[in-house]
Amino acid sequence: MTMAEHKPAYSLLVRHGESDVGTLALDKGTNLLKLAYSQEWQKSGFAISPALSLDNQHSPEVAYNYLDNALPEGGARKLLADDLGVSEKNVYSQVRAIGDDLTGAISFIPSEVTPENQSPGDEPEFRLIEEDELIQRIANKDDFGLLMWDDKPRLSVAGVQDKLNIFIDDQGRMGFGDGTLCSTHILKFEKSNCPNLVVNEYFCMKLSEAVGLPTSKVQFARFEQHPTLIVERFDRKYVSEKQKVFRRHMIDGCQALNLPRDLKYERNLGDGRDVQHIRDGASLPRLFTLAESMSSPAESMLWLINWQCFNLMISNYDSHGKNVSLFFDKSNNRFTPAYDLVNVAMFPQFKHTIAMAMGDEFEPDNINAYQLADFAETCEVNKKLLSRQLSLLANKVTGILADDSFIEEIAKFAHFTDADRDYMTTVKAHVLDRTHYLRSQAPKIPTIEV
């Protein structure tokens, strides 16, 4: 094999829709990545994340951080690496394998693929998943995983929960999309040691939507005994007349802050006594600073306030740097709808410290008016504004949960069991208790000097 024949394996074309963005290259001598924008994209395009500047002067770790965050986490990441026969840290090989359906609108295509030998993209391709096949795969996911279908890796969204990217057409059929099609929804499942995780997230997501917060659209389904959350992707839009899925570019908080996925928690070295003072990971002050540079700083700041207050009300301790994202393109950078909203307090097997501190406090039971005021000062938020927004949001939550109509409405379908409704009633009681307490602290916030 000549050098000319060998080189394409170490280079990928970077595309945004049908436009060429540039190239991603791996230096096989140093094992460092280089993302280089084309001259045309530099003139007419945009930086695909804040740190990947259009001048091509960014360092190799910036491209690594961007791609590392775009790939799956947890067991899916290990399965993907094992199937490819590479290290989990070898992001280049993993992006080469699944780079045509990553989150957002940027795709990574092997450079040996050219229009002449058919780039993925000119015709819609649909591979139907029959319900029996899906049920069998869910039943065996702990043994065989959900990554490989027809000898092709499919999962390509970040996160540690069992997930499957799928395409759903306008007739409700599920499958895999290729060519002009790609995934439009995400199926989320629960592990055997986390019963009720799906119904918990469904309740929290529907509550967020009910109080008027921008929230991902979700449905609850059952495939035989397996509860499943169907999440509509807000970075995708299927247009049936054109048989095409249009993509919208987005990045998560770690990509926006140029942090590797290992720094998605503020205490990036953990909660141990000797390292808990080290806080180099994603944090609320960093996100509020990011908000100042967005298309509408005031709107973005308000979104963050409401997002964090709601997370406290539902005890979503795991609201880390990858559980917040933003649309990011040439004309618009705003926070996306909220997602991954779970009442973590209901699961004793999960860590019960919050991912990003309120001021200096990581213990949720210790958050009172003082910590809320400290959060406001640390993030340069007006304390009266925080007090007002916390009260408004708490009133909405308590108003919606005041009677049984909310649960009756969201759990009225046949695939919900009495056990599901009983569990939602337990979550509701926990959320109400926490929300009442936080509302009682709100009037005190403006009076506190930190």
Active-site residue list: 318
**Contact 379/284 with Cβ under 8 angstroms?**
yes
Return d(Cα 212, Cα 190) in angstroms, integer: 27
In angstroms, the CA 95 to CA 84 distance is 11
Structural contact between residues 439 and 387, judged by C-beta atoms closer than 8 angstroms: no
Distance between CA 368 and CA 447 in Å, rounded?
13
Triad 245, 250, 254: Cα angle to 5°:
145
Cα(207)–Cα(398) distance, rounded to whole angstroms? 11
Interatomic CA distance for residues 409 and 202, integer angstroms: 13
55: which DSSP letter? T
Q: Which long-range contacts (CB under 8 A, 24 or more apart) does 237-246 make?
A: 237/184, 238/167, 238/168, 238/169, 238/170, 238/181, 238/184, 240/169, 240/170, 242/180, 243/124, 243/180, 243/181, 244/124, 244/180, 244/181, 245/167, 245/177, 245/180, 245/181, 245/182, 245/183, 245/184, 246/17
